[in-house]
Amino acid sequence: MEENIKKLISDSTNICIIPSQTNEPESLTSVLALFYTLKELGKNVNLIIEDFPEKLSFLIPSIEFITSPKNLIISVPQDKADVSQIYYEKNDKNLKIHLTIDKGQLKKEDFSFYFSEIKPDLILTLGILDFKKELETKLDSFGFLLDIPIINIDNKENNLKFGQINLIEQKSLSEITLKIVDSIKIPSPNFSMQFNKNTVDCILAGLILYYDNFRNNKTNPLIFEIVADLIKKGADYHKVNTELQKVTKKEAHFLNNIFSVLHSSQNSLSEQDQSNFSKYNGSLVILNSSEFKNHGEAEASFAVEKIKTLGIENDLLVLWPSHASEPMIKGFFYSKKQHLINRFFSLNENKYHEIENLKATVKPDWLFLSITGTNINLAKETIIKLLV
């Protein structure tokens, strides 16, 4: 399979890389590792991503170094209105486009926006279960990505295997990415056989995130050998680990809101909820604010680590509505009771447990949760049924 991947990449000039859009930090570090490697190979690399977490800013190249879609088209339907004149005005703050309409009437929803780009030769996806589902709400903008060969890279066995090549392995995305980078080290005037420092820093960061700074029980001796080899290749463990441990404003605000709601939860929860949760001495926090819509596993991991340092013994369930390619409720469940953790997660290694669109990813003493849909009360009830 590595040879097929190597050939596809070698034969391609314009390559598009798409990470999971659900704010999974390890997917992003792997994307960046591939980005730096492919750039060094002389490829034209286009990153499709909404935004990078602040915590990973030390790994992100300057904006001048990133190729992204630039040819934006604004489309106005002729059957809605007859536009006779167009002009624009531009200043330091914004650009205004003026349309003069002779006949008809235009509403905001009549306009469509999309990119007109040269089709890439190849697409690499990382951590995406279903490519079409990921793009279905973005086809106006990214329709130019359809019908392109895909190398599908993931570590979840329920991946739909939508790629021309499907590299699905039960390990971290960082380990899979490292194997790919190793296989495509093709000698060229612009490419050294040695690893790029940015590449090894990104892979190291992904390993630290995936294995919870190597405290996760999935950490094995081979991982430490990989880390040692990355350091030999130039990865700066102290710098990477220090940057990942920094508290961002976003994380601090998230944690403050959790404790703010927690302290007032007796007033905000229904009597039934309180009754159910009191059966096992647990607490429930619902964050309905849209300001947390882009929060994901990284923010949940930070919050849990801080909760652990505070010595909180009681179980805690936190839920919030998420912004993703499909409507979703996200959250985490913290508990030192293994039997409760096991109710969410299959005892078979790396298998997701699904009940009523609920998915749970196991971590030491906690679970990261995602529930398809927009009904946060229904999501809450689904989880409570598993707990009581």
348 burial via Cβ count (<10 Å: 0-12, 13-18, 19+): exposed
Rounded to an integer, the average pLDDT of 300-325 is 84
pTM listed for this prediction: 0.71
Domain tally for the chain? 3
Rounded CA gap, 116 and 138, in Å? Answer: 13
Tell whether 379 is covered by a domain. yes
172 shares its domain with 143: yes
40 shares its domain with 177: yes
Tell whether 320 is covered by a domain. yes
Tell whether 104 is covered by a domain. yes
pLDDT of 353 strictly over 50: no
84 shares its domain with 146: no
**What's the pLDDT score for residue 351?**
44
**What's the pLDDT score for residue 220?**
92
Tell whether 39 is covered by a domain. yes
**Angle value at C-alpha 248, between 243 and 250, nearest 5 degrees:** 145
Tell whether 227 is covered by a domain. no
Q: How far is CA 152 from the centre of its chain?
A: 15
271 shares its domain with 377: yes
286 shares its domain with 159: no
pLDDT tens-digit series, residues 212-238: 889 888 899 999 999 999 999 999 999
- Picking from 192, 216, 233, the residue at the C-terminal end of a domain is 192
Rounded CA gap, 174 and 172, in Å? Answer: 5
254 shares its domain with 369: yes
3-state helix, strand, coil in the chain (%, to 5): 40, 25, 35
178 shares its domain with 259: no
- Given pLDDT bands bounded at 50, 70 and 90, which one contains residue 22? low
User: Which has more confidence, 135 or 89?
Assistant: 89
**What's the pLDDT score for residue 324?**
58
335 shares its domain with 367: yes
- Asked if 32 contacts 60 with a C-beta cutoff of 8 angstroms, the reply is yes
353 shares its domain with 330: yes
Tell whether 30 is covered by a domain. yes
For residue 101, the enclosing domain spans: 77-110
Q: What is the DSSP letter of 97?
A: E
| CATH number of domain containing 139 | 3.90.1640.10
| CATH number of domain containing 271 | 3.10.310
Tell whether 222 is covered by a domain. no
Rounded to an integer, the average pLDDT of 6-21 is 90
Rounded to an integer, the average pLDDT of 374-384 is 85
23 shares its domain with 172: yes
Tell whether 89 is covered by a domain. yes
Structure tokens at 307: 């909760």
